[in-house]
Chain A
């Protein structure tokens, strides 16, 4: 017994110091402890719906950014019964927020801060609205108010896109400020995607950069056929044709586009968006880039710097990032509007048509305004083909029209490709009309028009009847 007691004491002491932590010991919160969701808001900032995985990828384009259509982020600590250290947690929106927050390089601009609160705050959930500008832009002044509604972004709603979202860090070392290793949510965690996917919100503020090289417009009978061809695969997801009456500037065809609303759920890449179409009365919020509400997009080249250090070159004036120009007059200066048929004849010489490009700044009206009223064709997908054509119907013969081909990416960022002015549909005769003109040579239409005027049918009937008569006699003989 004397020997046993000291052993038990030593064992108890050992267990007391190195035993497993109890379940109610508080721990630092981690990524798995947070539920993050994004919702798209309407023009008044009211929630429309939780963003679907497709919306997460294709909804946020340049127009929504310029309109300041806000997104609501909801961050909530999941109640699993565990207890957490009540540390200070800060939340940000942007790309590379950890690097921007800790780097001394001025090229990296800090992200907007959506929350700074203790862990307990997140048990009830925390929500904040932010404009799409913050997905790709940092703060102009990190010392000022960093909240999305109050801060000033340094970038604009232009330039190439990326992937962004909520970043969370905790002051786990009890020191002020987040260190890079203290970011435990890095923009890609949310419940909008399936459990197997780890993606943030994809934003794309730039239209196609490689349009087709050749565009032609051939006049038809009450129609115009617009064709395009490229030697390389154009960076275009779909096309639309816009038409206006050359004399009045009025839209040529009505009712082609139905407003898909502020939160379309399907058919991404089948229509382009501009701020003039999405928010014609002005931005929904003040969370837009400097200059995004000045004039029109095309005339505003606001270079900014994103949070990952890349420039946001505003290439809306037709100049692509590879240095080539989308100006129709330079990419296709030798192309006329004639077309060649399979039998080698040259057709459709429109003569007076003029090819040009839309001005850099979008006007208030006309096809170059890209307003949906001027859309005169259905969506045609680019697919994998380098060429295509679409027939615009419903035009008047002998009236001149201006035709604009617009390409767009899957997010709906447009690129006016080529403007062809003064295309005049002209009437033509197909076979049926030519037959009528030449004296009804093709006769009457219809499916049953046998006349008793001639006796050919009788002779034929006699022939067939004789055959059956012979067969009948043969059958009787056999029997």
Chain B
């Protein structure tokens, strides 16, 4: 049975169909314009939520990369400062060895002592290194406190090693702390961007890990004091002790450099992993959000065809009327 169709309905249906097609063409146009298949969350609620989570992961990853770079910069600076400390100590050690030569006169030794005293001064200067913004790098977290200062103690008369931490009679005091500056460089990874001065300069351990209880400065000052002693002999335990202490100090600084190097290399591999992750996140985001232009444009031409057909049909049927014939 045929259904009666009212004239109003014929117009209404025709216009309604055209509007529907125009609306979906508009949606497609919006997608093509923005290059996104999700223009607003309703287009893909699950995808939108996932995209948010992935882009947070990506941002957090970027944040870690930023921190990794910052940590690398700090540690590289630290390493070059320590290299300076190392070479200074190396120099001191060589001069001290030479001064042990039996042919040196008191005057020769006093000259060496003078040079060593100056080098000690620059060593203390290095230990009080400040970064570009004036923060002391070897003060633990007390970066505005000058970490190393002369104690003003006199060399101990009873103690053969003159200056030492135990019994306490230090040449140079440490005013910083053991505080560590940490940066988050991974979900559960933190990297320490400093080594407290106490570990590098004060708590010196020799190559076998035995503590000397003499700071780097105590060791050098003891050597200076020894060389300034008239008639000093290389066989004096004061000389061998001081020399051993300086050697231990060198080992200690070398250890610190090794620690810094290890941190730098683990940061490097983290940065590589992070770069891979960034690519993965980008790809995930692209899959979730980006428009597939090929299929979008195909859809556009299909809908265009449909719209044209609907318009043509409407125009044709609207013209038909029995009144034209009577």
Q: Do A and B bind each other?
A: no
**Which of B's residues lie within 8 Å of A, judged by CB?**
none
